[in-house]
Amino acid sequence: MKRREFIKLSAAGCAALGAMELQGRGLFRPAVASGATAGATSQGLPGSLGAKEISSVCEMCFWRCPIIGKVKDGKLVKIEGNPKSPSNGVKVCARGNSGVQLVYDPDRVKYPMKRVGARGEGKWAKISWDEALDEIVHNMQNVKKKYGPNALAYFDHGASAEFMRDIFKATGTENYTNEPAFFQCVGPVAIAYLNTAGYLVSGTRQYIDMGNAKAILLVASHIGENIHVSHVQEYMKGLESGAKLVVVDPRFSAPANKADIYLPIRPGTDTALLLSWINYVIQNNLYDKEFVKNHCEGFDKLKESVKPYTFQWAAKICDLKPEDMKKAIDLLAKTRPHVAIHPGRHATWYGRGDVGRHQALSILTALFGAVGVPGGIYFPTPVKKPKAANMGIEVKESEPPVSLKTTYPYASMLGTPTAEIIKATITGKPYPIKLWGINGVNILQTIPNPYDTMDAIKKLDFIFCSEMLPGETAIWSDIILPDTPYLERYDAIYTYEGLTPYMTVRQPVVPPLFEAKSPYWVSHQLAKKFNLSCFPYEKEQDYLNIQLKPMNLTLDKLNAQGGLITFPAKPYRDSKDLKLPTDSGKYELYVEDFAKNKLDPMPKFIATPAAPVGYVRLVYGRMPMHTFSRTMNNLWLHNECPENELWLNDEVASKIGVKDGDTVVIENHAGKQSYPVKVKVTPGIRPDAVYLPHGFGSTSPLLTKAYKKGASDEFLITNYEADPFMGASSHRTDFVRLIKDGKTLNIPEIKPLPPDIPRFEMKKTA
């Protein structure tokens, strides 16, 4: 997406068959699955000799690697990478392999279900699809008639969830989130790069050429722990070719273990370090003068703005040695322009300064001239995408007198901020929201302060979800629709615009089990019941073939070519021909559009409050075996890693009497407590922070493997601050202490706090 496109978007401005208690589980866990794939794989992996091979696209995480599913006797027995894929080849990660167990998980939602007890209680009745859809249509029409179209809200995530988003758009509501990931993850980095480089350097993909880099900078980017296969391969290619690595992180992560220079920074101070580096690069003429002169706007303003940010100042703020800071930036500058300043992806850390932090990374990239060159950020090669099939969608968004988007100038890129939807649902202001639809996102394990989310749900007239597994969102819903895993459905044509562009398609490897239906089918049925003209095609194959027709392709022809075709790439640019997709055609070091919206046009250091006395900051991250909360119930992955561990600094542990392997309860500053979790005592985490891998600690008893396994970081995040650019919610602004054997353990302060950083003021939150 280019900045101009973004600006344009922003301007556009019930009969029950018998109730069943949780303990029975019969509606969720029959002994033998029905259908052609019944009884597969839980007993072990059959051999794949003679298996039928079907190409598709993985969605065990959002990276979407092309895959081959191997089917024998109607059962999915193995998943491998598609050898035609230029991104991952034959490789898939542990999660990709374990898609087999997603299909055959005995806890799957198998039938449409209607709540017959209190919300969250877990009492259900099996109903028919017609009954379920009629309930949804009836409630959406009633709420719209009583409160207006904006009383409807939709939360979604994933490749096919957007189909139902179109149904909500057709009702006229402004309240759809176009993936909460934007407001909980990637939003600030997207805004930063769209408005400096002019295009989305970091989103679902990161257009960063680490494989050809001579140096790489990672700021709390856990490559090698998140295991996005092609991304990790490019990173490892760069290191194997001799690229130097600088890692900035309060935790000794997997990348830190490979670093030439590791800077264990005080959490919350990354922007201070980056600004001091920018100042040093300018003052010492380490920048690419030709690139800055010919292709950058706002250099003089930037130079003046960063003068106060010296190494001596930043060293105290960041708790780093000035000589180490200098050594690191000298190493990066020496390799320009072939230096990969990684843009990052997960950006919602501290609220106010999140866009500025990524803007600083973008500015460093420009100063080094690392734009459109091997080893720097590169340009996506637009694939001639198939023409979108005409779905007949009529979007007549009804703008209320006071919009939930107007506070944040850049929010409408992907809908309404999730936190604003939740607040309006609780308070009824500026208008009431009375119905939620949810598809593909576990809102209680994704959005900060799940206690607010639960309070909001209690105020709803109706809530429904499409789910593969009965997680927290499902047990709080009135209607649960059984969703198809990605291995049982079609999705829209998928194009990849990286170093070797390609086009492929997700398609069923096995037929849907039980009564699961694809989101397209559900949306098609809802459209008919609403008398909407959208989704005119009875089958997904029909609209896919219409999309492919202008390219002289059909699904059959595409499959005959291995399910994937590649295109020529043009990732690099001659500096003489370089024109960026910004208004000026140049790299914007000073963003005039930010200034017009009364936002900081250049990054500046905004001190995020440090922990109150007796507490430390909670940080979190990824791990190779799991994708957030969505894989915690997967048999194979659960066997590899059933629960998380809390990383605790060894010096702190010694002072409070905690040993490696001890079990503790984590308590946040608002008194919210986790399930018991084991402690990993290590010097690999700073004493002013603890680290918890994300996604564990499920509160849904219907997930028989994941329930109460480990501790949930999300249920400890009750204090958050909205990013002023687009309303993203901060996730690293909470503080915790430990409880061991019933005794509360306050955390001693080993690293003195400089006067420039305020302390968090203790107050009770919901």
What is the 3-class SS of 603-641, one letter each residue?
A: CCCCCCCECCCECEEEEEECECCECCCCCCCCHHHHHHC
Between the alpha carbon of residue 559 and those of residues 304, 326, 445, 489, 544, the distances in Å are 57, 54, 37, 15, 13
Averaged pLDDT for residues 563-577: 92
Structure tokens at 762: 């203790």
Cα–Cα dist 157/415, whole Å: 13
- Tens digits of residue pLDDT in 608-658: 999 999 999 999 998 899 999 999 999 999 999 999 999 999 999 999 999
Any idea where the domains of the chain sit in the sequence?
19-103, 197-380+574-596, 616-745
What's the chain's Rg over C-alpha atoms? 25
Cα–Cα dist 301/283, whole Å: 14
pLDDT at 26 over 80: no
| Average pLDDT value for the chain | 90
pTM of the model: 0.92
Cα–Cα dist 553/546, whole Å: 9
Question: What local confidence, expressed as pLDDT, does residue 38 receive?
Answer: 28
Contact 540, 529 (CB under 8 A): no
Question: What local confidence, expressed as pLDDT, does residue 415 receive?
Answer: 85
Question: What local confidence, expressed as pLDDT, does residue 92 receive?
Answer: 95
In the chain, % of residues over pLDDT 70: 91
Question: What local confidence, expressed as pLDDT, does residue 143 receive?
Answer: 98
Read off the pLDDT band of 414 (50, 70, 90): confident
pLDDT at 45 over 60: no
Helix or strand (DSSP H, E) at 464: strand 462-467
Read off the pLDDT band of 273 (50, 70, 90): very high
Read off the pLDDT band of 551 (50, 70, 90): confident
Cα–Cα dist 526/529, whole Å: 5
**What is the 8-class DSSP label of residue 479?**
E
Structure tokens at 644: 């998380």
- Tens digits of residue pLDDT in 192-220: 999 999 999 987 788 999 999 999 999 98
Averaged pLDDT for residues 675-687: 98
- Tens digits of residue pLDDT in 460-488: 999 999 999 999 999 999 999 999 999 99
What is the CB neighbour count within 10 angstroms for residue 5?
14
Beta-strand pair 493-496/645-649: unpaired
Contact 17, 128 (CB under 8 A): no
What is the side-by-side order of every strand in the sheet holding 113-115? Answer: 19-20, 124-126, 113-115, 479-482, 462-467, 435-439, 152-156
Cis amide linkage into residue 337, ω under 30° from 0: yes
* Segment 38-47 long-range contacts (CB within 8 Å, at least 24 positions apart): 40/75, 40/76, 40/77, 40/100, 40/103, 40/104, 41/75, 41/76, 41/77, 41/100, 41/101, 41/104, 42/101, 42/104, 42/106, 42/635, 45/77, 45/78, 45/100, 46/72, 46/75, 46/77, 47/72, 47/77
Averaged pLDDT for residues 433-442: 95
Between the alpha carbon of residue 361 and those of residues 266, 364, 367, 398, the distances in Å are 18, 5, 10, 38
Cis amide linkage into residue 430, ω under 30° from 0: yes
Question: In terms of CATH architecture, what is 616-745?
Answer: Beta Barrel (2.40)
Helices marked H in 250-353: 270-283, 289-295, 299-305, 311-318, 322-334
What is the CB neighbour count within 10 angstroms for residue 569?
18
Calculate the CA 360 to chain-centre distance.
21
Span of 344-353, 541-550, 726-735 with lowest mean pLDDT: 541-550
Contact 130, 479 (CB under 8 A): no
Averaged pLDDT for residues 676-690: 98
pLDDT at 385 over 70: no
Sign of CA dihedral 231, 233, 234, 236: positive
Question: What local confidence, expressed as pLDDT, does residue 401 receive?
Answer: 79
CATH superfamily to which 197-380+574-596 belongs: Dimethylsulfoxide Reductase, domain 2 (3.40.228.10)
Residue type (1 letter), 515: E
Residue type (1 letter), 36: A
Report residue 202: phi and psi, to 5°: -130, 120
297-317 burial string, b = 16+ CB within 10 Å, else e? bbbeebeebbeebebebbbbb
Question: What local confidence, expressed as pLDDT, does residue 43 receive?
Answer: 27
Between the alpha carbon of residue 14 and those of residues 126, 133, 178, 479, 488, the distances in Å are 10, 10, 30, 11, 27
pLDDT at 731 over 50: yes
Give SS3 for 175: coil
Which of 470, 631, 513, 464 lies closest to 20, judged by CA?
A: 470
Question: What local confidence, expressed as pLDDT, does residue 122 receive?
Answer: 80
What is the CB neighbour count within 10 angstroms for residue 11?
8
Averaged pLDDT for residues 333-349: 96
Ranges 174-178, 391-395, 478-482, 524-528, most confident: 478-482
Cα–Cα dist 631/646, whole Å: 19
Who wins on pLDDT, 742 or 121? 742
Burial class for 322, CB neighbours closer than 10 Å (0-12, 13-18, 19+): middle
Contact 260, 266 (CB under 8 A): no
Helix or strand (DSSP H, E) at 263: strand 261-263
Who wins on pLDDT, 220 or 516? 516
Contact 276, 311 (CB under 8 A): yes
Question: What local confidence, expressed as pLDDT, does residue 534 receive?
Answer: 80
Read off the pLDDT band of 48 (50, 70, 90): low
Question: What local confidence, expressed as pLDDT, does residue 762 receive?
Answer: 85
- Tens digits of residue pLDDT in 152-189: 999 998 877 888 998 998 899 999 987 678 899 999 99
Between the alpha carbon of residue 547 and those of residues 389, 479, 542, 552, 560, the distances in Å are 5, 33, 9, 10, 17
Question: What local confidence, expressed as pLDDT, does residue 395 receive?
Answer: 61
pLDDT at 538 over 60: yes
Question: What local confidence, expressed as pLDDT, does residue 756 receive?
Answer: 92
Question: What local confidence, expressed as pLDDT, does residue 389 receive?
Answer: 55
Read off the pLDDT band of 412 (50, 70, 90): confident
Read off the pLDDT band of 32 (50, 70, 90): very low
Read off the pLDDT band of 677 (50, 70, 90): very high
Name 342's Cβ contacts closer than 8 Å, sequence gap at least 6.
206, 208, 210, 216, 217, 218, 219, 221, 223, 361
Read off the pLDDT band of 2 (50, 70, 90): low
pLDDT at 606 over 80: yes
In the chain, % of residues over pLDDT 90: 78
Fold of domain 19-103:
N-terminal domain of TfIIb (2.20.25)
Structure tokens at 483: 């969703």
